[in-house]
Amino acid sequence: MSKIGVFICHCGENISATVDCQRVAEELSKVDGVAYSIDYKYMCSDPGQTLIKQAIKEHNLTGVVIGSCSPRMHELTFRKTCAEAGLNPYMCEIANLREHCSWVHEKGEATTEKAISLVKMLVEKVKKDHPLTSIQVPITKKALVIGGGIAGIQASLDIANCGHQVILIEKDPSIGGHMSQLSETFPTLDCSQCILTPRMVEVAQHPNITLYTYAELDSVDGSIGNFHVTIRLKAKSVDPKKCTGCGTCSSKCPQKKIPSEFNAGLGTRTAIYVPFPQAVPNKPVIDKEHCNYYQKGKCQLCKKVCPTDAIEFDKPDELLKEDVGAIVVTTGFNVLKTDFFPEYGYGKYKDVITGLQFERLASASGPTLGEIRRPSDGQIPKKIVFVACAGSRDPAKGIPYCSKICCMYTAKHAMLYQHKVHDGESYVFYMDVRAGGKNYEEFVRRAIEEDGVKYVRGRVARVYEKDGKLIVKGADTLLGGAPVEIEADMVVLATAGVSNNGAEQLAQKMHISYDSYKFFAEAHPKLRPVETNTAGIFLAGACQAPKDIPDTVSGASGAAVKVAGLFSQSMLVREPLIAVVNRCAPPLFSTCVGCFMCETACPYHAIEHEEIKNRNGDVIKTVAKVNPGLCQGCGTCVAFCRSKSIDIQGYTNEEMYAEVVSLLNN
Amino acid sequence: MDNNESEFEPKIVAFVCNWCTYAGADLTGTSRIKYATNVKIVRFPCTGRIDFMLLLKAFANGADGIIVSGCHPNDCHYTSGNFHARRRWIAFRHLLEIIGVDVRRIRFSWVSAAEGAKWGDLVNETVANIRELGPYTEYTKVAQYVEKEDNNE
């Protein structure tokens, strides 16, 4: 006979404001098999948990149902509470009275009735529950970090410094990411390269880090503690072991007019190239799409001039298989393509540029060596207009969110411009200035007050060329929408930060969630900001949403701690919510008939064949068996099984039927 | 949604996956989006786990409508469970039509963890549709008859 305890949480007033918790507890006490039923203000608090523990001991409870917030929030908490009181943790179920009831319905009879039936449903389930023991799996103490920007660099260094092996892969020929492209960084104006490049070198030299550049994730299998990853090492056409990085090949390459990605299209590069002088590794790769040999079949000039014979044409991509225990995704972001701003004239007028291009112009390593010069004629612009929120906070352009970094970098750009062009005039068109952050507001004030940047509150309607000037037409909403017209020499658009190319495909490879903007979703926006819903895969940096450098670095260190925490355990304890094939007494041994439909359904190859033998060693029957290390507990096999021989622990057919029957018969 | 007393209040069971729709419904709550109380959620690990016999069981026990919802195609936490569910639904729907079950009673949908508002809309739409269709008793009668016959044997 079941002795079930029911505990209804008020969640302060979150539940009790619309659900009559006391009545729910009273009604439940009348249910068959319920031995104890009570409501309490905060069930998850220390006194609340003590209440549960005492009740379990006093009433010898065989199962517990807690009516509280979503099980995604506190299932673990309450299971632990039960375990501490000596009850099997899998005999504890959560009825979601907050997210699925009190928060979505108005106060009233129907809401309380719904709460009662939700709790009753789980009481019926607990009656059918079986005690389960968790599964122990060994952990591969090696991490994979995807993306070599500042987030990936920081995460790799932190994990490696904890004494664990790290594989860092980067799709480009060099690590460094967007941060390596920046000139100075807000709010301190220290040079981006000066603080970044030492860390890049540290990554390359760290004994615990294996760095693969020009490499991408091909596929992922397995699960937390034991992922099997395949990494595609794209053919570099240059043997890094032989190459000394002398640069003769690049200087002789006849393809000289390829727009440089590093300089955001403002400079050029060759087909065999090192993206920038401080690149790590500082060895070139051949860009097949622009190489004369790969495109037209002849040239090979680089091969002829290479003093160490390092050029190797026609070498295919390599696939590298690795086992890792955890994955950190730090694939960063991109800046919005400006195609949908025909009104701003990007692409039509050479002197309308993006914020990232301005970074390159202002950078000492950029195409103008740090002088602010117009892309069209190389003249120093005397009047410059910065347009904030070019795309961001504009639902009409599909980007309702704030890109977060633009207010600060626009202030920085205007400031850098004023520092470099003393007689110049700069205007910033803004919607609001969002300068939340340590020393951020002070920084913006400095731009306005000390450097004389003119801030105009309002949006720019149109940019067009007239007599060699860019006419910027907008409105000043602080002057009642008075029209403003500025004859500028250059216009800089603070284009929105968007998810990186291929983010969706990458997320699908790893089975992690992403939002409608293709940014990766964290397990909880506040309390689990560096974890994904897939155990063992962590996030950091701007692949989650546009982020500035301090947030990115702290997120990366956070993800690294999660990985180090995982690796500090000797064995990984996994939930036993996996499939099992029934076994019974001879002569049947199992109701499984060996059709192996389950095998075709299983996405994890977790179904094995087990031969049942008689005393003479003859095979009587071959039945299915689930490998508990591989099974993830999706239960697709259960729905496939024709003889109902396979079931999933924690979601058995019996339990689910009990839930459905209970729901409809109350 | 106001629950007018004179109005028919349908009983609707939602079979949802843990990773997308359950989390999406959590988001509806966190966003304080209001919807009708008629729908009650049963949580599964994956839509691939949902044995469609459960749907018949629900009808046999007096459900007026059913929602099945999981991750969008390609977003399944377990790679392919939702594809199996989709394929099963297509086959199952034809079988239901053959035996005379009204397939309008079942709503198959995808709701991701980020689509809290969509879940609210889905519930309200389904409740309105089922309310229009009225109570569903045909299958319950069949089930009761079969049960009685079974007991007589």
CB contact under 8 A, B74 and A663: no
Residue of B nearest to A648 (CA): B49
Residue of B nearest to A118 (CA): B40
Residue B5, pLDDT > 70, answer no
**CA neighbours within 13 Å on the CB side: how many for B152?**
6
Rounded CA-CA distance A172/A151 in Å is 15
Assess contact for A430 and A457: CB atoms under 8 A: yes
Mean pLDDT throughout A546-562?
A: 97
Q: Which contiguous run of DSSP H or E holds residue A156?
A: helix A150-161
Compare CB distances from B79 to A507, A511, A661 and report the shortest one's residue.
A511
Which ranges of A363-513 would DSSP assign to H, the alpha helix? Answer: 406-420, 440-449, 503-510
Q: Which residues in chain A touch residue B22, judged by CB atoms under 8 angstroms apart?
A: 72
Q: Are strands A226-233 and A215-223 parallel, antiparallel or unpaired?
A: antiparallel
Rounded CA-CA distance A208/A227 in Å is 19
Residue of B nearest to A512 (CA): B77
Residue A27, pLDDT > 50, answer yes
Residue-by-residue DSSP string for A80-128 = HHHHHTTS-GGGEEEEE-IIIIITTS-SSHHHHHHHHHHHHHHHHHHHH
CB contact under 8 A, A636 and B35: no
CB contact under 8 A, A121 and B42: yes
Domain of B88, CATH number, reads 3.40.50
The CATH number of the domain covering residues in A142-234+317-332+504-568? 3.50.50.60
Kindly report the nearest CA distance between residue A663 and chain B, in angstroms. Answer: 8
Q: Is A580 on the interface with B (CB under 8 A)?
A: no
Residue B131, pLDDT > 90, answer yes
Kindly report the nearest CA distance between residue B45 and chain A, in angstroms. Answer: 6
Assess contact for A666 and A593: CB atoms under 8 A: no
The DSSP call for residue A479 is G
Residue A339, pLDDT > 80, answer no
Helix or strand or coil: residue A372? Answer: coil
The average confidence (pLDDT) of chain A is 93
Name the β-bridge partners of A469. Answer: A466
Side chain identity at residue B10, one-letter code: P
Mutate to test the interface with B, among A664, A665, A666 (most CBs of B within 10 A): A664
Q: Which of A408-417, A629-638, B116-125 has the lowest mean pLDDT?
A: A629-638
**A61-108 residue pLDDT tens:** 999 999 999 999 999 999 999 999 999 999 999 999 999 999 999 999
Residue B1's pLDDT is what?
45
Residue-by-residue DSSP string for A528-596 = BTTB-SSTTEEE-GGGSS---HHHHHHHHHHHHHHHHHHHTSSEEEE----EEE---STTTS-S--S--
CB contact under 8 A, A603 and B75: no
Residue of B nearest to A518 (CA): B114
CB contact under 8 A, A635 and B45: yes
Residue of A nearest to B50 (CA): A639
Mean pLDDT throughout A347-355?
A: 92
Residue A395, pLDDT > 50, answer yes
3-state secondary structure A18-31: CCCHHHHHHHHHCC
Residue A340's pLDDT is what?
67
Compare CB distances from A664 to B19, B29, B61 and report the shortest one's residue.
B61
Rounded CA-CA distance A609/A553 in Å is 48
Query: Tell me, what's the ipTM?
Result: 0.93
Which domain range does residue B79 map to?
12-152
Q: Is A513 on the interface with B (CB under 8 A)?
A: yes
Compare CB distances from B26 to A72, A633, A659 and report the shortest one's residue.
A72
CB contact under 8 A, A71 and B43: yes
Mutate to test the interface with B, among A11, A100, A505 (most CBs of B within 10 A): A100
Q: Which residues in chain B touch residue A638, judged by CB atoms under 8 angstroms apart?
A: 49, 51
Long-range CB contacts for residues B137-144, cutoff 8 Å, separation at least 24: B137/B62, B138/B100, B138/B101, B138/B102, B139/B56, B139/B59, B139/B60, B139/B101, B140/B59, B140/B60, B140/B61, B140/B62, B142/B60, B143/B59, B143/B60, B143/B61
Mean pLDDT throughout A113-126?
A: 96
Q: Which residues in chain B touch residue A117, judged by CB atoms under 8 angstroms apart?
A: 40
Mutate to test the interface with A, among B7, B33, B40, B88 (most CBs of A within 10 A): B40
- Write the burial class of residue A319 (CB in 10 Å: 0-12 exposed, 13-18 middle, 19+ buried): exposed
Residue of A nearest to B114 (CA): A515
Compare CB distances from B46 to A515, A534, A635 and report the shortest one's residue.
A635
What are the φ and ψ backbone dihedral angles of A452, each rounded to 5 degrees?
A: 70, 30
Residue B2, pLDDT > 60, answer no
Cα–Cα nearest to A443, from A404, A406, A412, A418: A412
Place of tokens 């009831």: A101
The DSSP call for residue A302 is H
Rounded CA-CA distance B125/A154 in Å is 48
The CATH number of the domain covering residues in A579-648? 3.30.70.3270
CB contact under 8 A, A636 and B22: no
Residue A222's pLDDT is what?
83
Is residue B65 assigned to a domain?
A: yes
Q: Is A570 on the interface with B (CB under 8 A)?
A: no
Cα–Cα nearest to B74, from A512, A275, A237: A512
In the stretch 472-511 of chain A, residues with CB closer than 8 A to chain B read 507-508, 511
CB contact under 8 A, B40 and A516: no
Torsion-angle region of residue B100: left (phi > 0), alpha (psi -120 to 50) or beta? Answer: left
Which CATH architecture describes the domain A4-134? 3-Layer(aba) Sandwich (3.40)
**A488-538 residue pLDDT tens:** 999 999 999 999 999 999 998 998 888 889 999 888 778 889 998 788 999
CB contact under 8 A, B23 and A635: no
Cα–Cα nearest to A239, from A148, A315, A322: A315
Q: Which residues in chain B touch residue A601, judged by CB atoms under 8 angstroms apart?
A: 48, 84
Mean pLDDT throughout B8-23?
A: 94
**B39-58 residue pLDDT tens:** 999 999 999 999 888 999 99
Residue B114, pLDDT > 60, answer yes
Residue of B nearest to A638 (CA): B49
In angstroms, how far is the first alpha carbon of chain A from the final one?
Answer: 21
Q: Which residues in chain A touch residue B40, judged by CB atoms under 8 angstroms apart?
A: 114, 117-118, 121, 663
Assess contact for A139 and A567: CB atoms under 8 A: yes
Residue A122's pLDDT is what?
96
Rounded CA-CA distance A64/A2 in Å is 10
Peptide bond into A307 cis (omega under 30): no
How many helices (H) and strands (E) in chain B?
A: 5, 4
CB contact under 8 A, B40 and A114: yes
Query: Distance from CA of residue A571 to its chain's centroid?
Result: 26
Mean pLDDT throughout A130-152?
A: 94
Equal fold, A142-234+317-332+504-568 vs A334-498 = yes
CB contact under 8 A, B84 and A639: yes
**A400-440 residue pLDDT tens:** 999 999 999 999 999 999 999 999 999 999 999 999 999 99
CB contact under 8 A, B26 and A99: yes
Kindly report the nearest CA distance between residue A654 and chain B, in angstroms. Answer: 11
**A79-91 residue pLDDT tens:** 999 999 999 999 9
Compare CB distances from B48 to A98, A639, A665 and report the shortest one's residue.
A639
Side chain identity at residue A326, one-letter code: A
Kindly report the nearest CA distance between residue B152 and chain A, in angstroms. Answer: 23
Q: Which residues in chain B touch residue A513, judged by CB atoms under 8 angstroms apart?
A: 19-20, 75, 112-114
* Maximal CA-CA distance, chain A: 100
CB contact under 8 A, B37 and A665: no
User: In terms of residues, how long is chain A?
Assistant: 666
Q: Which residues in chain A touch residue B118, judged by CB atoms under 8 angstroms apart?
A: none
Residue A568, pLDDT > 90, answer yes
Mean pLDDT throughout A11-29?
A: 95
Number of inter-chain CB pairs under 8 A, A vs B: 144
Residue A155's pLDDT is what?
98
Residue-by-residue DSSP string for A111-124 = HHHHHHHHHHHHHH
In the stretch 99-118 of chain A, residues with CB closer than 8 A to chain B read 99-101, 103-106, 108, 110-111, 113-114, 117-118
* pLDDT cut 90: percent of chain A above it: 84
- Write the burial class of residue A661 (CB in 10 Å: 0-12 exposed, 13-18 middle, 19+ buried): middle
**A293-327 residue pLDDT tens:** 999 998 999 999 999 999 999 999 999 999 999 99
Residue of A nearest to B120 (CA): A104
Residue of B nearest to A533 (CA): B19
Q: State how many domains chain B has.
A: 1
Kindly report the nearest CA distance between residue B153 and chain A, in angstroms. Answer: 24
Compare CB distances from B51 to A121, A638, A661 and report the shortest one's residue.
A638
Side chain identity at residue A160, one-letter code: A
Which CATH architecture describes the domain A334-498? 3-Layer(bba) Sandwich (3.50)
Domain ranges, ordered by start, for chain A: 4-134, 142-234+317-332+504-568, 248-305, 334-498, 579-648
Residue of B nearest to A577 (CA): B45
Residue B152, pLDDT > 80, answer no
CB contact under 8 A, B84 and A648: no
Rounded CA-CA distance A562/A2 in Å is 39
The DSSP call for residue A464 is E
